Amino acid sequence: MNILVTGANGQLGNEMRIVAKDSSDQYIFTDVTEQVGVQTTFLDITDLDAIRTLVKEKDVRAIVNCAAWTNVDAAEAPENRALAEKLNAEAPENLARAMKEVGGWLVQISTDYVFGKEPYNTPCRPDQKGTPTGVYGETKRLGEEKIKEVWANSDGSTGGYVIIRTAWLYSEYGKNFCKTMLNLTQTKPQLKVVFDQCGTPTYALDLAKAIQVIVQKPVQGIYHYSNEGVCSWYDFTQMIARIAGHKDCDIRPCLSSEYPSAVKRPAYSVLDKRSIRETFGISVPYWVDSLEKCIANIQKQQTNASN
């Protein structure tokens, strides 16, 4: 099967490159940027005709959409809202249309930011009504709705969609919270990190492995995937420092109100993953176990780079 991956030079896209190495499927990795050392096919997912052409040329049977506008704060700027909506809502609709025309599947990566306005205190279910608090969450939720509209009244027997909401994504690649805190806990004597926002960190490699399973036997619907467990950003930072052996940084908890932001982030966005486990037989690792593996890989990369 030929599988097209968009946003291939981002965090999740790079992890998809890794899992693809052990796959019998043919992966086509696309992006609008180039990355040294890896092959990338240029594809603008806001251009429906370009998508159709590539799908036809490569006989694509499934698309994994890892591309998105992910700068949560910048999305709130009036001059960026239209672009955020174009990338997060209109582009997924384009991908859905192209796949429906050939009876293929779209795996769309969405976010816990579709939740947040309501005072949740139990894990958010896939069928739970979304209540986003900002432009990023609103545009990602709109993207979900547009995809569902393309396949309205379809049971998935001749192609369809799988929407996977994830949260707190980190990896060895690009900029992310884990890599930032590895640096700060090593170089700063003191840090303040919010403890009144709770969720679950997600190692992008774990998500990539789950996607690889799902794309083989997709079942239409919305699912949740993050690692298992619950923590605050403060707890996440403490664990990063502990695993890395950074003992000299004084990490202190603080309230979100101490760090004014353009958007209100979800105070509790733990995701209920029962349906993805039961439907696809996926085992979900505990967040600390996956964090240990990622940090070990980052430290290995740093050692190799210095030699």
- pLDDT tens for 24-33 read 999 999 999 9
What is the average pLDDT across 166-181? Answer: 96
Average pLDDT score over residue span 198-218: 97
- CA torsion 10-15-19-24 (nearest 10°) is 0
What pLDDT is attached to residue 260? 79
Which one is catalytic: 27, 113, 136, 223? 136
CA 197 to chain centre: 18
pLDDT of residue 84: 96
pLDDT value of residue 283? 95
- 2-170+201-227+270-285: CATH class: alpha beta
- Across the chain, what does the average pLDDT equal? 95
Give residue 153's pLDDT.
Answer: 84
- 0.85 surpassed by pTM: yes
Tokens 């959409």 correspond to 65
The predicted structure's pLDDT at residue 119: 66
pLDDT tens track for 57-100: 999 999 999 999 999 999 999 999 999 999 999 999 999 999 99
* Reported confidence tier of residue 245, pLDDT bands at 50, 70, 90: very high
Taking the CA atoms of residue 191, residue 193, residue 199 and residue 204 in that order, the dihedral angle to the nearest 10 degrees is -40
Q: Higher pLDDT residue, 267 or 110?
A: 110
Q: Is the distance from CB of 167 to CB of 226 less than 8 angstroms?
A: yes
pLDDT score at 37: 86
Give yes or no: 268 in active site: no
Name the token pair of 44.
């603008």
Residue 117 has pLDDT above 80, yes or no: no
- Residue 141: which residues within 8 A CB-CB, separation 6 or more? 110, 114, 130, 132
Portion of the chain with pLDDT greater than 70, in percent: 99
Q: For residue 118, is pLDDT > 90?
A: no
The closest alpha carbon to 166, from 242, 205, 223, belongs to 223
Q: pLDDT tens digits, residue range 177-199?
A: 999 999 999 999 999 999 999 99
Q: Is the pLDDT of residue 5 over 90?
A: yes
Backbone angles phi, psi at 273, to 5 degrees: -105, 15
| CB-CB contact of 223 with 126 (8 Å) | yes
| Token pair of 216 as six digits | 């083989």
Arithmetic mean of pLDDT, 152-161: 87
